[in-house]
Amino acid sequence: MLLIDCPCCGLRPETEFRCGGQAHVARPEKPVDVGDQDWSEYLFVRANPRGVHAERWIHQHGCGRWFNALRDTVSDRFVETYPMGGKPKSTTTEARA
Amino acid sequence: MRRFSYRSLISEALNAHQGWQRQWRAPDPKPSYDVVIVGGGGHGLATAYYLASQHGITNVAVIEKGWIGGGNTGRNTTIIRSNYLYDESAGIYEHALKLWEGLSQELNYNVMFSQRGVLMLAHNVHDVQSFKRHVYANRLNGIDNEWLSTEECKAFCPPINISQDIRYPVMGGALQRRAGTARHDAVAWGYARGADSRGVDIIQNCEVKGIRRDASGAAVGVETTRGYIGAKRIGVVAAGNTSVVMQMAGVRMPLESYPLQALVSEPVKPCFPCVVMSNAVHAYLSQSDKGELVIGAGTDQYVSYSQQGGLHITNHTLDAICEMFPQFTRMKMLRSWGGVVDVTPDRSPIIGRTPVQNLFVNCGWGTGGFKATPGSGHVFAHTLATGEPHKINAPFTLDRFRTGRLIDEAAAAAVAH
Ligand SMILES: Cc1cc2nc3c(=O)[nH]c(=O)nc-3n(C[C@H](O)[C@H](O)[C@H](O)COP(=O)(O)OP(=O)(O)OC[C@H]3O[C@@H](n4cnc5c(N)ncnc54)[C@H](O)[C@@H]3O)c2cc1C
Ligand SMILES: [Zn+2]
Residues in chain A with CB shorter than 8 Å from the CB of B345 are 43-44
Between the CA of B172 and the centroid of ligand 1 the distance, in Å, is 32
Residue B304 sits at the chain A interface (C-beta within 8 Å):
yes
Per CATH, the homologous superfamily of domain A3-83 is: Folate-binding superfamily (3.30.2270.10)
Kindly report, residue by residue over B197-226, the tens digit of the pLDDT: 999 999 999 999 999 999 999 999 999 999
Best to test chain A binding among B209, B302, B312, B400 (most A CBs inside 10 Å)? B302
Using the predicted structure, report yes or no on whether residue A82 has a pLDDT greater than 90. Answer: yes
Of ligand 1's listed atoms, the one at least distance from the Cα of B366 is 19
Residue B207 sits at the chain A interface (C-beta within 8 Å):
no
**pTM of the predicted structure, to 2 decimals:** 0.97
Q: Name residues contacting ligand 1 (CB within 6 A).
A: B 38-44, 63-66, 70-73, 75-79, 207-208, 237-239, 241, 245, 260-262, 296, 339, 341, 365, 367-371
Q: Is the separation of the CB atoms in A34 and A40 below 8 Å?
A: no
Q: What is the DSSP letter of B108?
A: T
Q: What are phi and psi of B327, to 5 degrees?
A: -65, -15
Instruction: Point out which residues pair with A69 in neighbouring strands.
Output: A55, A81
- CB-based contact A36 B243, cutoff 8 Å: no
- Angle among Cα B58, B62, B67 to the nearest 5 degrees reads 140
Q: Mind listing the pLDDT tens digit of every residue in chain B (417 residues)?
A: 889 999 999 999 999 999 999 999 999 999 999 999 999 999 999 999 999 999 999 999 999 999 999 999 999 999 999 999 999 999 999 999 999 999 999 999 999 999 999 999 999 999 999 999 999 999 999 999 999 999 999 999 999 999 999 989 999 999 999 999 999 999 999 999 999 999 999 999 999 999 999 999 999 999 999 999 999 999 999 999 999 999 999 999 999 999 999 999 999 999 999 999 998 888 899 999 999 999 999 999 999 999 999 999 999 999 999 999 999 999 999 999 999 999 999 999 999 999 999 999 999 999 999 999 999 999 999 999 999 999 999 999 999 999 999 999 977 665 544
ipTM for the whole complex: 0.94
Kind and range of the H or E run holding B190: helix B184-197
Q: What are phi and psi of B408, to 5 degrees?
A: -85, 70
Q: Which of A74, A95, A96, A78 is nearest to A4 (CA)?
A: A78
Q: Where are the domains of chain A?
A: 3-83
Residues in chain A with CB shorter than 8 Å from the CB of B244 are 48-50
Of ligand 1's listed atoms, the one at least distance from the Cα of B67 is 49
Q: Is the separation of the CB atoms in B131 and B174 below 8 Å?
A: yes
Largest CA distance in chain A: 43
CA Rg value for chain A: 15
Smallest CA–CA separation between A75 and chain B, in Å? 6
